[in-house]
Structure 1
Amino acid sequence: MRNTVIAASGLQKTYGDKVVLDGVDFDVEAGSVFSMLGPNGAGKTTTVNILTTLMKADAGTARVAGHDVATATREVRKVIGVTGQFAAVDELLTGRENLRMMADLKRIRPAEQVVAGLLDRFDLVESADKMAATYSGGMRRKLDLAMTLVGNPQIIFLDEPTTGLDPRSRRTMWDIVRELVAEGTTIFLTTQYLEEADQLADRIAVLDQGRIVAQGTPLELKRQIPGTHVRLRFADAGTLDAAAGFLPGSTRDEQELTLRVPSDGGSRSLRALLDRLDEHAVNAEEFSVHTPDLDDVFFALTGRASSAAATGTTDTTHSNSSEAIAR
Structure 2
Amino acid sequence: MSSTVMEIKNVKKSFKGNEVLKEINITVNRGSIYALLGPNGAGKSTLLKIITGLLNSDSGRVTINNINVAENPTAVQKLFSFSSQNTTVDGVLTGYENLVLIAKLRHEPNPRNVALNLLKTFRLIDAKDKAVSNYSGGMQRRLDLAMSLVGDPEIVFLDEPTTGLDPSSRLDLWNKIKELKSQGKTIFLTTQYLDEADYLADKIVFLHDGKIIATGSPDEMKRIVGENKLFIEFNNILDLEKSSKLLQIYSPQQTNSCELSINLTEEIKTTLNIFSILTNEKIVIKSFKMITPTLDDVFMTLTKGRKS
Which interval holds the TM-score relative to the shorter structure?
0.7 to 0.9
Is the alpha carbon distance of 1:269 and 1:41 closer, same or farther for their aligned partners in structure 2, counting shifts above 3 Å? farther
Is the alpha carbon distance of 1:2 and 1:65 closer, same or farther for their aligned partners in structure 2, counting shifts above 3 Å? closer
Matched with 2:98 is: 98
Please give the secondary structure, in 1, of the residue aligned with 2:126: coil
Unaligned runs of 5+ in 1: 233-245, 253-258, 273-286, 305-327
* 1:34 shift after superposition: 0.8
Is the alpha carbon distance of 1:54 and 1:21 closer, same or farther for their aligned partners in structure 2, counting shifts above 3 Å? same
Contact 1:263 1:269 in 2 (8 A): no
Q: Does 1:296 align with 2:289?
A: no
In structure 2, how many angstroms separate the alpha carbons of the residues matched to 1:290 and 1:154?
38
Q: Deviations over 1:240-262 (max 9, x none)?
A: xxxxxx9x99699xxxxxx9955
- Which of 147-156 and 163-172 deviates more? 163-172
Q: Deviations over 1:93-137 (max 9, x none)?
A: 111111111111111111111011001101111111111111100
**Structure 1 segment 59-138 matched on structure 2, within 5 A:** 59-138=59-138
In structure 2, how many angstroms separate the alpha carbons of the residues matched to 1:75 and 1:164?
33
Q: Does 1:17 align with 2:17?
A: yes
Please give the secondary structure, in 2, of the residue aligned with 1:126: helix
Matched with 1:141 is: 141
In structure 2, how many angstroms separate the alpha carbons of the residues matched to 1:65 and 1:260?
53
State the TM-score, normalized to the length of structure 2. 0.81
* 1:228 shift after superposition: 3.2
* 1:303 shift after superposition: 2.6
Unaligned runs of 5+ in 2: 233-243, 245-250, 278-287
**Structure 1 segment 226-305 matched on structure 2, within 5 A:** 226-229=226-229, 261-264=261-264, 289-303=290-304
Is the alpha carbon distance of 1:251 and 1:95 closer, same or farther for their aligned partners in structure 2, counting shifts above 3 Å? farther
Is the alpha carbon distance of 1:197 and 1:260 closer, same or farther for their aligned partners in structure 2, counting shifts above 3 Å? farther
In structure 2, how many angstroms separate the alpha carbons of the residues matched to 1:143 and 1:218?
29
Output the amino acid matched with 2:151.
G
Is the alpha carbon distance of 1:101 and 1:210 closer, same or farther for their aligned partners in structure 2, counting shifts above 3 Å? same
Please give the secondary structure, in 1, of the residue aligned with 2:184: coil
In structure 2, how many angstroms separate the alpha carbons of the residues matched to 1:45 and 1:303?
23
Matched with 1:27 is: 27
Is the alpha carbon distance of 1:6 and 1:260 closer, same or farther for their aligned partners in structure 2, counting shifts above 3 Å? farther
Contact 1:229 1:260 in 2 (8 A): no
In structure 2, how many angstroms separate the alpha carbons of the residues matched to 1:210 and 1:251?
40
Q: Deviations over 1:167-215 (max 9, x none)?
A: 2111111221111111111000111222221121111111111111111
* 1:298 shift after superposition: 1.4
* Structure 1 segments (4+ residues) deviating >2 Å: 226-232, 248-252, 259-270, 287-290
Matched with 2:214 is: 214
Q: Deviations over 1:118-170 (max 9, x none)?
A: 01101111111111111100000000000000000110001110111112111
* 1:227 shift after superposition: 2.5
Matched with 1:188 is: 188
Matched with 2:238 is: none
How many percent identity over aligned positions? 42
- Which of 172-181 and 154-163 deviates more? 172-181
Please give the secondary structure, in 1, of the residue aligned with 2:300: helix
Is the alpha carbon distance of 1:261 and 1:2 closer, same or farther for their aligned partners in structure 2, counting shifts above 3 Å? farther
